[in-house]
Amino acid sequence: MPEKSALAPFKAKLGKIPDQQIADLANVSRTLVVNYRKKLGIPPYQGHKAAAPSAPAKATDDRPFRGRRSALDTYIDRLGRVPDAEIARLAGVTAENVRTYRHRRDIPATWQLADAPAAAASAAQPVSAKAPKAPPPRRDAPFKAPARTSAPPRPVSPPAAVPAAPAAAVQLASPAVSNIAYLVTVDTDEGPRSYALIAGDIALAAAEASVRVAARHPGGAIRSIQRVADMFPAE
């Protein structure tokens, strides 16, 4: 009965060429070739130890089919001319499978050589200078008023048109006419202070405020005297 092994047509080459080369020719794994050779008692190929290895014979498409075909067999005429990733996409395998399949058949990646001149020409072209990017519009910080420094109080004199009345005249003022409330603001050593004062008119209010400020805050100065409201008359 004739031998049905896929390696039977290559029995004469066992031990004379590398096991991997026979595996590529028979489209089987190297392990299968090693086991088959050992079964026949044929020693392994030793030519690579005596001389420089010769270039492996390139597999061709016209070899007889022996065993399981690869999904890449259909695209063997494109190998090397088309990137491995593109072949992998068409065949439904990984790019690493395509790379291994191509290396076993000693097919160089010529598409890389074709891309090299284009890449060199692209690198030699002067890079056009890009217009500088306009800076973003400047946003000024919101205005902040300078910190107000404390200054010594400035004396405020009573209205020039209102002469200061003597203390005796203030004391003799009739309570019946003292029916107007005034707000007196005074600058003191402790800061501005405000007081309420009842007088008959602005002149009397200024006179009485001068007396009271001199007694309560020596060195103080009247800043302003403002009429606030009329008092209810005494019933």
List of residues 6+ apart from 34 with CB closer than 8 A: 19, 44
Residue 174 confidence (pLDDT): 42
Domains annotated for the chain, with CATH where assigned, are 8-119 (no CATH), 167-230 (3.10.20)
pLDDT band at 109 (very low <50, low <70, confident <90, very high): confident
User: Strands across the sheet with 191-199, in order?
Assistant: 191-199, 180-188, 221-230
Which residue has better confidence, 42 or 159? Answer: 42
Highest mean pLDDT range out of 130-134, 154-158, 220-224?
220-224
Can you tell me the distance from the alpha carbon of 194 to that of 179, in angstroms, rounded to the nearest whole number? Answer: 19
In this structure, is the dihedral angle defined by the CA atoms of residues 57, 58, 62 and 64, taken in order, positive or negative? positive
Q: How far apart are the first and last CA of the chain?
A: 149
pLDDT at position 190 is 82
CA distance 109 to 104: 13
CB 205 within 8 A of CB 226: no
Average pLDDT of the chain?
74
Cβ–Cβ < 8 Å for 74, 39: no
Q: What are 191's two structure tokens?
A: 């800061």
The phi-psi region of residue 191 (left if phi > 0; otherwise alpha if psi is between -120 and 50; otherwise beta) is: left
Residues of the chain above pLDDT 90, percent: 15
| 3-class SS of residue 196 | strand
- Look at 56-60, 112-116, 179-183 and tell me which has the smallest mean pLDDT: 56-60
Residue 167 is predicted with a pLDDT of: 43
Q: For residue 141, what pLDDT band results from cuts at 50, 70 and 90?
A: low
d(CA 212, CA 210): 6
201: which DSSP letter? S
- What is residue 20's predicted lDDT score, i.e. its pLDDT? 92
Q: Which residue has the tokens 């600058």?
A: 187
Question: Tens digit of pLDDT for each residue in 10-37?
Answer: 888 888 999 998 889 888 899 999 999 9
pLDDT digits (tens, 9 = 90+) for 153-211: 565 555 554 444 444 334 434 444 578 999 989 899 888 989 998 888 889 989 988 99
CA 179 to chain centre: 73
Is the pLDDT assigned to residue 88 strictly greater than 50?
yes
Among 9-13, 33-37, 68-72, 120-124, where is mean pLDDT lowest? 120-124
With a cut of 50, say whether residue 1 has pLDDT above it: no
Number of residues that make up the chain: 235
pLDDT for residue 55: 53
